[in-house]
Amino acid sequence: MTKRSHGHLAGRSRHLARHHKPSELNTGSLIKEFSIGDMVTIIPKGNSKNIPHPRYRGRTGTVVERRGSAYIVELRMMSAKRRIVVPSIHLETSGAAGKTQG
């Protein structure tokens, strides 16, 4: 009997549904720029080696700083604040950036 794989994302293939067409993953998505304070959404796509953990998929946070070609995004999960390093290919501008509560 063969032994089950315990790789990086073993058993998660159904949770990592693609939200983009392969043709939409172009050089423009690799060189996206964000400024500090921008609201971004984490959408894992492309290479599976550098994607953030699947628990952060679809979460919205604030760009805190830039580290190399990646960004540090601050998220709020319940009452805790989390800071994670995310490459720019997995970030998209959030629609909540210009909205005010009223």
Residue 100 lies in a domain: no
Residue-range definition of the domain harbouring residue 54: 17-93
Mean pLDDT over 16-38 rounds to 73
Residue 101 has pLDDT above 50, yes or no: no
Domain assignment of residue 98, yes or no: no
Q: Is residue 49 part of a domain?
A: yes
- The answer to whether residue 43 is domain-embedded is yes
Element (H, E) at 87: strand 80-87
Q: Is residue 101 part of a domain?
A: no
pTM for the structure as a whole? 0.72
**Mean pLDDT confidence for 65-93:** 93
β-strand pairing of 39-42 with 91-93 = antiparallel
**Count of the separate structural domains present in the chain:** 1
The CATH number linked to 23 is: 2.30.30.70
Strands 91-93, 60-67: pairing is: unpaired
Which of 51 and 84 is assigned the larger pLDDT? 84
